[in-house]
């Protein structure tokens, strides 16, 4: 199934406000950059969920590539039924050939058990479906709708995307979720303000086994809540009991076990939830839930990943050994809508590029910063910042020529690194590349080819440390 991995759930989108001339110019520059990036790929297959991110990628691809673009939706039990129909309608409205391929995630080892890296298995299944279709249709590139904000959450699926060489044009264009929505609105896409949807498997706490019957319960109740007028919501599934021993009266399958639905709805809609209480309870019972509760913290981003620190800090156990769940608390009254918490000031974000180059002997190239630069004399993968109006590949090619006197051939993205410095957040796109000649130190202190295993011995920039560790581990 195609979807973001545990996406940061977006809040409801405010009504559109026409941009002022400066904003309009910025939007046009962003759109032109995205068009140039996708046009540069050539014939492509777009992994298409029907959400705003993949819709923007598909719309721009259709514009610049014409019939050289096809979209594919992987349909499985983890995709809400209404989303399957909506994706098909949107693809048809864009005039793009739409392939719908049946996915079997629940049969894939490591998925149904619902480990914390479940989305790695999900994305691997997606690429197993996309790659033969792309090969059959002569499309050398697979495009994903990942945006910059997706890189800041727990997203094991992105590892699978990097391993399989998928392209992420929204990331390469430096677009976050707000940028994507504004551009989608500018292009007249009907989904520009669509609430972000995670796949149904994200409704289950890690370690809770996922089954088709359980997924249908969640899908049915979420659909009913949408029909009641709630747009931004999640139905979280929780087990409340397990069969004991050889009890002959135990349910025959996990689908029959009693379950609790924990509803995440915006706090501001608390009064309406109370007014619809009877209808909500009725729909929950019809969907097969024994209990229905309201999460008093309301709808919030990434709540399913809040337990990861606890999971990683305690000994591992198998699903069969899971302890019995705590007893269910009695219903509590919903408080009046609370004032929205203050929004933290946005931190500055810098988007930079770097090159990962290996020679014929397998050595990796690094350069040393000058003594007059910030973080002096630390070693790094060469590169630098993207200037206004530049494409990432253009910026990297320019930086390598200025620093090392080489003309570089830029390959696909090898890694995307997010690092939090005290003063700003850094996002670094690391491209595989090759040099046309032996590099020399022009605007850097020193240059060196290094065995991957020796990289950790160099004082390296903090942002580069994860890539150093990865390269040293695989050699």
Averaging pLDDT over each range in 20-24, 67-71, 119-123, 463-467, which range is the top one?
Answer: 67-71
Q: Looking at 94-236, list the stretches that DSSP marks H as alpha helix, in order from N- to C-terminal side.
A: 118-137, 157-163, 169-172, 177-186, 212-227
What's the CATH superfamily of 349-474?
Answer: Nucleoside Triphosphate Pyrophosphohydrolase (3.90.79.10)
This model's pTM is above 0.85: no
Model pLDDT, residue 250: 47
Which residues are within 8 A (CB) of 251 and not within 5 positions of it... i.e. 6 or more apart? Answer: 243, 257
Residues in the chain: 475
Pairing of strands 425-435, 408-420: antiparallel
pLDDT digits (tens, 9 = 90+) for 177-225: 999 999 999 999 999 998 877 788 889 988 889 999 999 999 999 999 9
Least confident stretch, 40-49, 93-102, 379-388, 466-475: 466-475
Residue 6, pLDDT > 90, answer no
Residue 8: predicted pLDDT: 37
Q: Pick the closest to residue 98 from 78, 63, 74 (CA basis).
A: 74
For residue 260, give the nearest of 278, 279, 283, 284 by alpha carbon.
284
Write down the H helix ranges in 295-453.
Answer: 308-313, 392-404
Give the pLDDT of residue 320.
35
Residue 179 exposure: Cα atoms within 13 Å on the Cβ side: 21
Number of other CB atoms surrounding residue 268 within 10 Å:
15
The interaxial angle of helices 52-65 and 177-186, nearest 10 deg, is 50
Domain chopping of the chain, boundaries? 21-186, 211-241+255-303, 349-474
C-alpha 187/C-alpha 25 separation (Å) is 14
Higher-confidence residue of 443 and 246: namely 443
Contact criterion met (CB below 8 Å) for 435 and 357: yes
Beta carbons of 450 and 364 less than 8 angstroms apart: yes
- Of 59, 26, 70, 61, the C-alpha closest to 40 is 61
Question: Looking at the domain that runs over 21-186, which CATH code has it been given?
Answer: 3.40.50.620
pLDDT for 259 equals 94
| Nearest of 281, 311, 283 to residue 293 by alpha carbon | 281
Query: Rounded distance, CA 369 to CA 213, Å?
Result: 57
């Amino acid at each position: 199934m195609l979807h973001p991995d545990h996406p940061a759930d977006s809040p409801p989108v405010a009504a559109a406000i026409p941009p002022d001339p400066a904003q309009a110019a910025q939007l046009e520059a962003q759109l032109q950059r995205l068009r140039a990036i996708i046009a540069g790929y050539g014939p492509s297959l777009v992994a298409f969920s029907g959400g705003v991110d993949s819709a923007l990628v598909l719309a721009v691809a259709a514009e610049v590539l014409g019939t050289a673009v096809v979209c594919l939706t992987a349909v499985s039990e983890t995709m809400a039924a209404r989303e399957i129909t909506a994706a098909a309608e949107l693809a048809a409205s864009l005039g793009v050939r739409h392939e719908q391929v049946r996915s079997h995630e629940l049969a894939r080892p490591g998925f149904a058990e619902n480990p914390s890296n479940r989305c790695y298995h999900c994305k691997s299944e997606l690429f197993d479906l996309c790659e033969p279709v792309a090969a059959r249709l002569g499309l050398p590139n697979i495009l994903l709708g990942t945006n910059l904000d997706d890189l800041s959450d727990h997203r094991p699926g992105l590892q699978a995307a990097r391993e399989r060489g998928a392209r992420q044009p929204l990331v390469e264009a430096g677009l976050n979720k707000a940028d994507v929505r504004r551009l989608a609105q500018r292009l007249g896409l009907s989904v520009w303000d669509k609430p972000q949807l995670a796949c149904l498997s994200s409704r289950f706490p890690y370690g809770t086994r996922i089954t088709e019957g359980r997924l249908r319960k969640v899908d049915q109740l979420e659909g009913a809540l949408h029909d009641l007028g709630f747009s931004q919501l999640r139905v979280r599934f929780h087990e409340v009991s397990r069969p004991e021993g050889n009890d002959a009266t135990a349910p025959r399958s996990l689908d029959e076990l009693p379950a609790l639905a924990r509803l995440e709805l915006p706090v501001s809609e608390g009064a309406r939830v109370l007014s619809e209480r009877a209808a909500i309870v009725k729909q929950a019972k019809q969907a097969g839930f024994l209990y229905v509760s309201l999460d008093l913290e309301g709808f919030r981003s990434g709540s399913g990943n809040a337990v990861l620190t606890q999971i990683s800090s305690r000994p591992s156990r198998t699903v069969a050994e899971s302890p019995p769940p705590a007893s269910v608390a009695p219903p509590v009254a919903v408080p009046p809508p609370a004032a929205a918490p203050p929004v933290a000031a946005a931190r500055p974000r810098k988007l930079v590029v770097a090159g990962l180059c290996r020679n014929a002997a397998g050595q990796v190239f690094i350069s040393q910063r000058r003594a007059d630069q910030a973080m002096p004399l630390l070693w790094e993968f060469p590169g630098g910042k993207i200037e206004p109006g530049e494409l990432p590949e253009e910026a990297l090619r320019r930086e390598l020529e200025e620093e090392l006197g080489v003309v570089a051939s830029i390959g696909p993205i090898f890694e995307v690194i997010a690092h939090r410095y005290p003063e700003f957040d850094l996002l670094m796109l690391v491209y595989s590349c090759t040099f046309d000649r032996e590099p020399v130190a022009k605007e850097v202190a020193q240059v060196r080819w290094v065995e991957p295993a020796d990289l950790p011995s160099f004082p390296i920039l903090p942002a580069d440390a994860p890539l150093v560790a990865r390269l040293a581990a695989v050699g």
